[in-house]
Structure 1
């Protein structure tokens, strides 16, 4: 059975990034959008990033335009928007598809390992979150309405068990 650490993703600059580099880290993976009512969650993601990065938390943000076309901009413009409006210092990745035939392998993996409401695999909206344990074995899915800060206790638990 493949591991999350066998997957590569694309950074916003087009460079391949192997998730194998994140073995032993706690990952919070989020599909994002700049014109969504949940966009202010970037601020909470940045708070978590600054607070726990040194302890092993890595936030992986993947812009996505699949929901009401709420992320229409280019990767460069998205990055500028996030830095100017939310001061984010965690990495943004290349804009992706989270559902359908062009779903990237990471999201195929996440959706198969952590089902949504009523066992559904599809992502329902922007800012769906996946929290991945440092060994990659435990994956939890959280809805767009879940505030990133409410995940703090689970993050601390994963970081302390590392």
Structure 2
């Protein structure tokens, strides 16, 4: 499982001209799932995301977690995180989980984040989405389990 975490000032997802998820402050999470992922990887990443200290304290040091700052999360399923570009010019997505595996795991990931007390907005699984955000910092971190 891979999560591309982007600290943001705001973020939104639009599908067919309609906003499906929007946050004012927190994390935009692009979530990639592979066929071997399970609840173990989900739990690890949820705990990691909750505990990472990526927000500045009064001294300007990244010392505060999203829990301490009170931010929200926008979660977007992103199978292209598993693109293999080592051969040729067209990426292979063979390592990305099939939708029937990925969707329930992504939904479980989101529900575990909510169980931690986060407001979690989402994109639409499998849809063509327009994602807009203002990266804060910029801070962008790849998490893997």
Q: TM-score range by the shorter chain?
A: 0.3 to 0.5
User: Structure 1 length as normaliser, TM-score?
Assistant: 0.40
- From the two aligned structures, give the one with the greater helix fraction: 1
Rg: which structure is higher? 2
Greater RCO, 1 or 2 (C-alpha within 8 Å, sep 6+)? 2
Whichever structure has more strand as a proportion of its residues is 2
TM-score, with length taken from structure 2: 0.43
